[in-house]
Structure 1
Amino acid sequence: MSTQASTPSPSSHRRRRRVLRPLPLAAAGLLVATGVYALPQLTPGASAATTLRGYADARGVRIGTAVGDSALTSDSSYTAVLDREFNSVTAENAMKWDAVEPTRGGFDWAAADRLVAHAAAHKQGVRGHTLVWYSQLPSWLRNGDFSATQLNSILKSHIDTEVGRYKGRVYAWDVVNEAFNDDGSMRSSLWQTKLGTGYIANALKWAHAADPAARLYINDYNIEADNAKSDALYALAKQLLAQGVPLNGIGFQSHFVVGKLPSTMKANLKRFSDLGLEVSVTELDVRIPLPASAAELAQQSKDYKTASENCLGVPRCAGVTVWGITDKYSWVPSTFTGYGAALPFDERYTAKPAYTGLSKGLDPKA
């Protein structure tokens, strides 16, 4: 597909588990089948119109970012930009299984609680990420050799506990993350191998029971274009809705290489929206070969504008989330050798042309 080289491989996604260190400076209601829904906790005009948050508030949508616990707790410049520019936050790692349940039945909520508390104090929504994923599983689960019955019980208990803990405080969950291979087949994983594809419907049902107001998503990468992978996800989504499974939305991760956004992205998002589903860009970044030239930074600005417009130009687009604030903490350089400069702010928290592009994509008057 046209964006194949622009999106992360499954192995690269695993690398999000590490605590990111600063780079050198050089370097909520259920969406029903009718598609009627309302965005909670948003007040039009609630923030300065010239910020990303201001534009999103004026439009009644989310502008979010992934948040790392280390930066949240140690970098005042980071939190200043976070609170000024974003009305939604996603836990970068703090809500993943290995972080919250490192031992069976033993939970560590410290980092996740910090993010939820910070968001509440700054009137930001929280997007939960992620409940069921093939990666970042603790060793007790990964190596446990559980029977299907045992694994099913473990999965339900984990979802019940985590979603229940944040009931009413998390507006959406990436319930199932990266369930497909690029050819449209189901990814081989602990869940798929032991439980079959039915684990997806069960996970959605259990999450809905734990918090009926939260929006429930399937989230994946390389699905932005009309291709085999997005076709398979579309077929599954249609099937789940026909069965009455509480699926509310699809998350399009949108990890791109500069200048390589798929031309079919908007039409592809629309076909999911036409099913009555929310669509959201959930992990947007646009990486550039280093060192980034002025021309590439200008193109990156256009790409941010186009990506956000591709979503916001579709009915039921709930918003756009970027996978980080600043190049200082970006996952890109450590995952894609020779690439970086992927985010709207540079290492010194100076807004890049990408910030302007994203602003224009969000601005309802643009």
Structure 2
Amino acid sequence: MLSRRLAIAVATGAVAALSLGTAAQAAPARHAGHEATLRTLAERPDLLIGTAVDTSALAADAPYRADVASEFSSVTAENVMKWEVVEPARGTYDWSQADQLVSFAQKHGQEVRGHTLLWHNQLPAWLTSGVADGSIDTGELRAILHRHITDEVRHFKGEIYQWDVVNEVFDEDGSYRDSLWLQKLGPSYIADAFKWAHAADPKAKLFMNDYNVEGVNAKSTAYYDLAKKLRAQGVPVQGLGIQGHLDIQYGFPGDVGDNLARFDALGLQTAFTEIDVRMTLPADATKLARQAQDYRRLLDACVAVKGCKSFTVWGFSDKYSWVPGTFTGEGAANIMDENYVRKPAYTALADGLRAAARRTGRH
């Protein structure tokens, strides 16, 4: 995702509520219970419709919990699988929040996307400070990274269908991001991360993930070239995650279909992993219509190629969106409003799934 820190602490009572309350309480009458949901409308058996999950909301908010369970066939941890959460002190792991999400998913017949093993943000303070003061040298840093990836992937072995192994490793011009990892380990850290993750869980599909790679551009081409190079070397790169953080004040990304098709031809899976479409507030009918169109165009591009295996929105209710706290004056980015009322964007996705199903003769 884009650089941001969201509150992830869950009160003791809320944790208990999540553990004991996975059977969601009845949601208020926001929409008729007999209506189809996004997960029931998915065109292909191998196309998963997902959402990022705020585990605090999952624990405390019954309508939120009900919609996570009913609308989606895949869930992604918004924060609780990131390194600063799972290893807050060196050598001391805390899997509790992530385990609760996995348990919730299993009880509701959902798959889990793993996000993320390696990023330049949301690293534990003990790691960044150790690198900064020189107490962790290059050799030790590589060993620490190896252990982190191995331990996390093994902990969830068999429970994660796609892992975002590396997140946001290129800049907009297609050059490597000047991160701690590049500075200390060089670009080989990317291949190493995939090899270590594959060794820890050979069945999980392993993805690169980034924003502004929806269409054909310098950044997405850098990923295409890297994937082609690494696969030729036998490195188990198996997918590209396309975040899909859009803003209606800009034009829709060009050549999205062509971009997906070239990764398809390369033998890689693709996935839209973090979709939201923000706007300058206040929202109005014109802005919501444009937002709906953008959601639909991303979905249409996904269902048009065989290799697009999952379509994940980055949260579904504006109530818990990260956008207002990051982009001043912007928001309303999700497919339901703060009261879980379905917006035109939701209808656009539902209609797109129905249309795709009709084309394949399933409905």
TM class, shorter-chain normalised?
Answer: 0.7 to 0.9
- 1:178 and 1:221 in contact (8 A); partners too: yes
Please give the TM-score of this superposition, normalised by the length of structure 2.
0.88
Residues 241-266 of structure 1, C-alpha deviations (whole Å, 9 max, x = no match):
10111111000001001263212111
Deviation at 1:186, TM superposition (A): 0.4
Aligned mate of 2:3, from 10, 14, 18: 14
> Counterpart of 1:40?
none
Secondary structure of the residue aligned to 1:237 is helix
Q: 1:49 to 1:202 in 2, by over 3 A?
A: farther
Point out where structure 1 has 5 or more consecutive residues left out of the alignment: 1-7, 22-46
Deviation at 1:58, TM superposition (A): 5.2
> Counterpart of 1:191?
181
- The yes-or-no answer on 1:365 pairing with 2:358 is yes
Deviation at 1:301, TM superposition (A): 1.2
Question: What is the letter of the counterpart of residue 90 of structure 1?
Answer: T
- The yes-or-no answer on 1:280 pairing with 2:266 is no
Within 2, Cα distance between the matches of 1:49 and 1:263? 34
- 2:242 and 2:274 in contact (8 A); partners too: yes
Deviation at 1:343, TM superposition (A): 0.5
Within 2, Cα distance between the matches of 1:267 and 1:49? 34
Within 1, Cα distance between the matches of 2:188 and 2:305? 30
Aligned mate of 1:155, from 140, 145, 150: 145
> Counterpart of 2:155?
165
Aligned mate of 2:121, from 123, 132, 135: 135
Within 2, Cα distance between the matches of 1:179 and 1:135? 11
Deviation at 1:143, TM superposition (A): 1.3
- 2:6 and 2:322 in contact (8 A); partners too: no
Residues 44-67 of structure 1, C-alpha deviations (whole Å, 9 max, x = no match):
xxx988210001265531100000
> Counterpart of 1:72?
58
Please give the TM-score of this superposition, normalised by the length of structure 1.
0.87
Secondary structure of the residue aligned to 1:17 is coil
Within 1, Cα distance between the matches of 2:199 and 2:286? 50
Secondary structure of the residue aligned to 1:280 is strand
> Counterpart of 1:201?
191
Point out where structure 2 has 5 or more consecutive residues left out of the alignment: 11-32
1:207-222 to 2 correspondences below 5 Å: 207-222=197-212
Q: 1:154 to 1:69 in 2, by over 3 A?
A: same
Secondary structure of the residue aligned to 1:111 is helix
- The yes-or-no answer on 1:119 pairing with 2:110 is no
- 1:16 and 1:92 in contact (8 A); partners too: no
Deviation at 1:19, TM superposition (A): 3.9
Deviant stretches of 4+, over 6 Å:
none
- The yes-or-no answer on 1:315 pairing with 2:306 is yes
- 2:209 and 2:242 in contact (8 A); partners too: yes
Deviation at 1:358, TM superposition (A): 1.2
- 1:20 and 1:331 in contact (8 A); partners too: no
> Counterpart of 1:297?
288
- The yes-or-no answer on 1:96 pairing with 2:58 is no
Question: What is the letter of the counterpart of residue 177 of structure 1?
Answer: N
> Counterpart of 1:3?
none
Residues 197-217 of structure 1, C-alpha deviations (whole Å, 9 max, x = no match):
111111001101100110000
- The yes-or-no answer on 1:61 pairing with 2:70 is no
Secondary structure of the residue aligned to 2:115 is strand
Percent identical among aligned pairs is: 53
Within 1, Cα distance between the matches of 2:167 and 2:44? 30
Q: 1:20 to 1:140 in 2, by over 3 A?
A: closer
- The yes-or-no answer on 1:271 pairing with 2:257 is no
Within 2, Cα distance between the matches of 1:173 and 1:17? 21
Within 2, Cα distance between the matches of 1:56 and 1:343? 19
Secondary structure of the residue aligned to 1:143 is helix
